[in-house]
Structure 1
Amino acid sequence: MSAKIRTYRPGEEQVLYDICLLTGDSGADATALYEDPRLLGEVYVGPYLRFPAALALVGDESGVAGYVLGVPDTLAFEQWCDREWWPDLRDRYPLGTFPDGSPDDRIVRLIHKPPTASLDVVERYPAHLHIDLLPRLQGQGDGRRLLTALLDGLDAPGVHLGVGLANQRAIGFYRRMGFTEVHAYTHSLIMARRL
């Protein structure tokens, strides 16, 4: 049975945070890797649920089992996060909160020094997105439907995303969805497509 694709509803934040953690190890469950189970969601889900121009869609199949989050203007989103999202998290998660080099520590460092999109990427592909699906939605076309719905709703000439090189299944999915590699790093790729 296909999941119903619909807009995120207030009150579903924790479910999306849980999905983020359950897929946070290159698509696999990252629960055992993190001391703080909310930390990944605070970075990769929370701001998208609050940024005024964001689009948040969920796949609901006997409960929410996947999501896609996107913003049409990455630079505006980064500026908003600097003003509205990161300051409170920096207070809650000071540097040194977790053991140096631990997975939690690496995420806290991102909170204190968030990466910014390359200008050459956002010039052509100003929107960006994140998508995560629990196994029960994978391989049935629900990811394609979720991503297509988001791409149809983004008012931008192009979109980009980051993906870990270890997540070969996701890379294949993005390629099938028309994304191509625009930057390669040691452990990740930036992929993009025109809209």
Structure 2
Amino acid sequence: MSNDAERKMQFMFALRSKGVTDKRVLNAMERIDRGVFIRDGLFAERAYEDMPLPISCGQTISQPSVVGLMTQALNVSPRDKVLEVGTGSGYQAAVLSQLARRVYTVERHRRLVQTAQAAFEEVGLTNVTALLADGSFGLPEQAPFDRILVTAAAEDPPGPLLAQLREGGIMVLPVGQSDAVQSLIKVTRTPDGFDYDELRPVRFVPLLEGLGQD
């Protein structure tokens, strides 16, 4: 067995052992090569390890098991239109693209939008659009969304994002003080309001308003 094949097998085993059991999510993560989304040669070797890695603009690419668990909690179906807030490397959006009809991903750093877009093209993804925008306001012109995924922590689920969630829709996001323990929350929009489920403790960068300087 080649080194690559062995690393991929260990990668998939790590995902399952951390609780990523949904076959569709596992298949999506097997198809998307995380290495394409790690532009820094120093860290490319570690693309198949279950750890977060630094990317440009002071951001990180989340550890794969967290990507898998968040994607699993989102319960995306093939007809869904998904909004991701916080493109980062583009890896999470690429995984979502394998499960959804359409993915819109917004990012406050221009450089990250450009590198993610280049990675989407390299992988041949045609159903993902990366946009430079302040994600705390969502993407009103494309709302409502069936699913919303936020990859940065806010103290509370942002009101504009809740408003852009379709009835029956699901949003998954980390909530909590940026320097303390955060919880991964699943929000479901019902005819009467919103249901909240706490999933697990996590650690994410804070959700910041405004655009970045780079």
TM-score (norm 1): 0.33
Higher RCO, 1 vs 2 (CA within 8 Å, ≥6 residues apart): 1
